Structure 1
Amino acid sequence: MSAETLDRPASPAGVRSVPRWRASLHRAAPALGLFAAARLTGTLVLAGWAWHIGRSPRALLASSWDSDWYTRIAAHGYGHTLHWPDGVVQSDLAFFPLYPGLVRAVTAVLPVTGGTAGLLLSWLSAGAAAWGIHRVGERLYGRPTAVVLVLLWGLLPHSIVLSMAYTEPLMTAFAAWSLDALLTRRWLWAGTLAALAGLSRPNGIAVAAAVLAAVAYALWRREGSRRLWAGAALAPAGWLSYVLWVGVRRGDPLGGYFAVQDGWTSRFDFGVGTLVFVRDMLRGPTQFGFAMALLITGAGVLLFALLALVERPPLPVLVYTGVLVVITVCGSGFFESKPRFLLPAFPLLLPVAHALTKARPRAAIVVITALAGLSFGYGVYALTLARMAL
């Protein structure tokens, strides 16, 4: 089925055609409803447990861990640094600017606090991301697989992040719609959305990599155009502009940002740090969060192999997912956060979604029910019981 067929539903003679976006939203409505139900249920489960132990659900969702850094940046700008007794220096320059900038814009328009503004942005972004994921899944495998794909994304063990004041929903929204634009050869849209993804998170560079790979393939096929070149130029602009800005501010244009990340013990070391951490973890008792992080990251690597070897998606989808997996596995620091870093890698779920649409209904229901239970339970654990960052 072609992209043109998906975007232009047939209309009887004399009947006004439905706008493309409305037709797309209508087709995605079942998936969006299931996604909203999954996330709402997970949030209510968390809220119930939080009230039971005397904690505020809103505080957990709006000001836990990185959320507090983002709202501080939104309120006061950059410049906050923590110095720890062990010599670790954590600067807020590690956090990319688009999300806190949007939080500040919302608080300037609406009478809400930064935490509430962050939650509103994240919830809206999660919905936009779910719609974009449905578009990509529908183009590749049709509506049934697209619906299951969106539901699975909303029921991942660490999907509580999609209900928090975090940046993953925003980046995933830009990524999904950029991939959709690439699949329909809308180069300017793809490049612009990739630039915005690059301003959202460090691993947003994966979207730019997908755009550049698609452009390179088009040029190899001698399909060059001004729009194609413009999209290629725009794609890495967001990520590069912030990295260079931090570098100039720190007095080292090319290395300043990476020095800031090193202060957070985050660096790309080709997986050495990950292997050392896993080795040490397996030698003795460990926390449940670390074990789950290892299990989810390992599952991500296996799913990428299935995606590449069995599903064989279009080049930009494969490149985008592969770069996210490489950044997650080969980066050191905050091992417990690796599942969150993989959250935007929704194409990893395509093999599972495709298989579930072909499975017997009873088997599919059992799998989805089990995943829902794990998701809701782990969300409660991660925010109320775990002693580590999400």
Structure 2
Amino acid sequence: MSEIVIAVSPVSPDVAQTAPAPAGPVPAGPPPAASVWSRWRPSVLAGFVTWATGIAIYYAVTAVSWLPVQDLSAKAGAAPGTLHGLLDAWNRWDTTWYLIVADSGYTYDARATAFFPLYPMAVRAADAVVPGGSYEAGLAVSALCCLAALILLHRLATELSGADDARRATFYLLAFPTGFYLVAAYNESMFLALALASLYFMRRGRWWWAGMFAGYASGTRMAGVMLGAAFAVEYLRQRGFALRRTDGRLRVSWPSLNRGVFAIVLVPAGLLVYMLYLKLTFDDPLHFLESQKSWFHDGFTPPWQVVMDVVDLIDRSEPLYGPDTIRNIANLATALGVLLLLVLALVGPWRLGAKAAYLVVFAAVVMLMPLSNPIHSYYPLSSVWRFALECSVAFMVLARMGRRPGFDRAYTGVALALQGAMIVTFVQDNFVA
């Protein structure tokens, strides 16, 4: 007699007592609204609490930022006497250019084409409903984008690393020394929110949504185009791409592709639309690159040469703790530190593994762009430690390191202390990043 063996998987009592599955195929469709909200609710709550706490701290630090000023009658150090004056203390540096574009367009000053259009377009739209002027509208847009970015980071980190790490990653991002730029009237939080939305939908395999948000990101900053590299890496991973060594030879296992691959054409859409506008307006689709020369960007330089140049500047700087020296040290340490964290995202005790490879690819490009296109001035890597905010996977690695209470306390204390000093520097109209 032949023997029939049936393998039965162990079933928990909870599962065993549930109703049997209905006969026939289960109709496809979107998940119920209740299950979507239950998945997103912790991220919305964590993001909102972090965001609201940050806003309150920024208000408090700004309010006391004039205590070290000796001559309050001086124009640069005049203390604000109203809430509006306190808000206006954040109207600094790049904000001016975004407001010029929002209020007057690019023809007012052709140098403004270095600042991509989506953020000032949103500011112009918000100005119609937000009380005040375009500056207040810019603050509102940035604050809402910051909230969206924190929620998206928490959701993505939860899926990759768990809820506890997600909570730390969200806090570590806003606590980073330049984290306050996420609520300033800059395009930083809009770009980060759009990039995280694209990266999240890539992980979920929703390629057309991922391509759409990447297209918006490329209309916010040129780095958005680099989401295409992340798209390709994650798409191939999910479709089963693999490298195998067989019989001493390296073989490539190519996956079958589906129509989702075509969504990658949406990634540069924002940039291409902007280039079309520049062609029609200035007869030069690359006018934004020409404008960069006004900020002393002058083409490609090998990253290792830039690093050596910065080290040399630090070595020759006088005084040792002068502003330019501090900026160079901060930017170089940030660039090298983030690159190290990207390596640790793939190998070592805090690794996230292959599932985070696409995040690493995007973050690496974000760091390498300023490292290979430096500013020819006293601080070649200017703003790098602001661009580090876009490297979300680096904060996920830091969150894993934060499982040790000693690291968590050290990061929190140092980061918040530095951020407080940077806010005071910023509102006093001194350059930070």
Same-fold call, TM cutoff 0.5:
yes
Aligned to 2:292: 261
Aligned to 1:7: none
Aligned to 1:228: 261
The C-alpha deviation readout for 1:88-127, integer Å capped at 9, x for no partner, is: xx70011100000011111123343100000000000000
2:108 counterpart (80, 83, 89): 80
Aligned to 1:368: 412
* CA distance 1:279–1:106, change in 2 (3 Å): same
1:338 counterpart (372, 384, 389): 384
Tell me which stretches of 4 or more aligned residues in structure 1 moved more than 6 Å.
Answer: none
The C-alpha deviation readout for 1:329-357, integer Å capped at 9, x for no partner, is: 22211633111122111211222101212
* CA distance 1:69–1:21, change in 2 (3 Å): farther
Q: How far, CA to CA, are the matches of 2:313 and 2:360 in structure 1? A: 32
Contact conserved, 1:268 with 1:327, CA < 8 A, in 2?
A: no
Aligned to 1:3: none
* CA distance 1:148–1:18, change in 2 (3 Å): same
Contact conserved, 1:31 with 1:146, CA < 8 A, in 2?
A: no
Q: SS of the counterpart of 1:68?
A: helix
TM-fit CA distance, 1:185: 0.1
Q: Does 1:319 align with 2:339?
A: no
Aligned to 1:290: 328
Contact conserved, 1:74 with 1:100, CA < 8 A, in 2?
A: yes
* CA distance 1:309–1:70, change in 2 (3 Å): same
Q: How far, CA to CA, are the matches of 1:319 and 1:201 in structure 2? A: 17
Aligned to 1:86: none
The C-alpha deviation readout for 1:105-150, integer Å capped at 9, x for no partner, is: 1112334310000000000000000011011111111100000000
Alignment RMSD (CA, Å):
2.6
The C-alpha deviation readout for 1:300-340, integer Å capped at 9, x for no partner, is: 22222222333234332121111111113222116331111
TM-fit CA distance, 1:225: 2.2
Q: How far, CA to CA, are the matches of 1:248 and 1:308 in structure 2? A: 45
Q: Does 1:30 align with 2:46?
A: yes
1:212 counterpart (229, 232, 236): 232
Q: After alignment, is 165-174 or 324-333 more displaced?
A: 324-333
* CA distance 1:17–1:94, change in 2 (3 Å): closer
Q: After alignment, is 72-81 or 268-277 more displaced?
A: 268-277
Q: In structure 1, what residue type is equivalent to 2:419?
A: S
2:272 counterpart (237, 240, 247): 240
Q: SS of the counterpart of 1:332?
A: coil
Contact conserved, 2:235 with 2:261, CA < 8 A, in 1?
A: yes
Greater percentage in helix: 1
Q: How far, CA to CA, are the matches of 2:146 and 2:301 in structure 1? A: 31
Specify the structure having the higher radius of gyration (Cα): 2
Correspondence list, 1:178-197, <5 A: 178-197=198-217
* CA distance 1:347–1:247, change in 2 (3 Å): farther
Contact conserved, 1:42 with 1:375, CA < 8 A, in 2?
A: no
Contact conserved, 1:99 with 1:167, CA < 8 A, in 2?
A: yes
TM-fit CA distance, 1:60: 2.6
Contact conserved, 1:187 with 1:228, CA < 8 A, in 2?
A: yes
Q: SS of the counterpart of 1:110?
A: coil
Q: How far, CA to CA, are the matches of 1:294 and 1:366 in structure 2? A: 21
Contact conserved, 2:310 with 2:332, CA < 8 A, in 1?
A: no
The C-alpha deviation readout for 1:276-319, integer Å capped at 9, x for no partner, is: 34422321224233332232223222222222333234332121
Q: Does 1:279 align with 2:312?
A: yes
Aligned residues: 363
Q: How far, CA to CA, are the matches of 1:18 and 1:190 in structure 2? A: 23
Aligned to 1:40: 56
Q: In structure 2, what residue type is equivalent to 1:317?
A: L
The C-alpha deviation readout for 1:180-208, integer Å capped at 9, x for no partner, is: 10111000110000001111112222323
Contact conserved, 1:155 with 1:375, CA < 8 A, in 2?
A: yes
Please give the TM-score of this superposition, normalised by the length of structure 1: 0.84
Q: In structure 1, what residue type is equivalent to 2:336?
A: G
Contact conserved, 1:30 with 1:147, CA < 8 A, in 2?
A: yes
- Structure 2: 5+ residue runs without aligned partners? 1-17, 20-31, 70-76, 242-253
* CA distance 1:46–1:308, change in 2 (3 Å): farther
TM-fit CA distance, 1:222: 2.8
Contact conserved, 1:132 with 1:180, CA < 8 A, in 2?
A: yes
* CA distance 1:339–1:243, change in 2 (3 Å): farther
Q: SS of the counterpart of 2:171?
A: helix
